[in-house]
Amino acid sequence: MTFDPTFLKKIEEKLLAEKEKVEHELAEFTVKTGAGQEIVFPEYGDQSGENAAEVASFDSDLSLKNVLNDTLRDINSSLKRLSENTYGICKYCGQEISRERLEIRPTSSSCIDCKKKFSGE
């Protein structure tokens, strides 16, 4: 494990801020739609700014809510990995995920190589 505490702290803060934002948005949806349904949603691109593009590409509230649920789940599992000191380790090959990738997408749970392999790119 070569991640330094400062880096991990920064990631944790990012995740917590994102979590708060997503929970807030989800709460608004729950009020608006009254729906509690969760549907598994495919993972989209890997670039920074992807979330905004993702969200903008969905025109129904339900789709957006699914994305939020999915994001929240990713955030929570990332926070769990942080607390268990397994954060930043690829779930497929066990190698460390690059800092650059984690900074762009703190919820990453696989390295770029495995991500490519498993998404068939």
Interface residues with Zn ion (CB under 5 A) are 90, 92-93, 111, 114
CA–CA separation, 58 vs 61, rounded Å? 8
From the CB of 37, what's the least distance to Zn ion, in Å?
A: 32
**Residue 3 or residue 29: which is nearer to Zn ion going by CB?**
3
Closest distance of CB 95 from Zn ion, Å: 5
Minimum distance of Zn ion from residue 93's CB (angstroms): 3
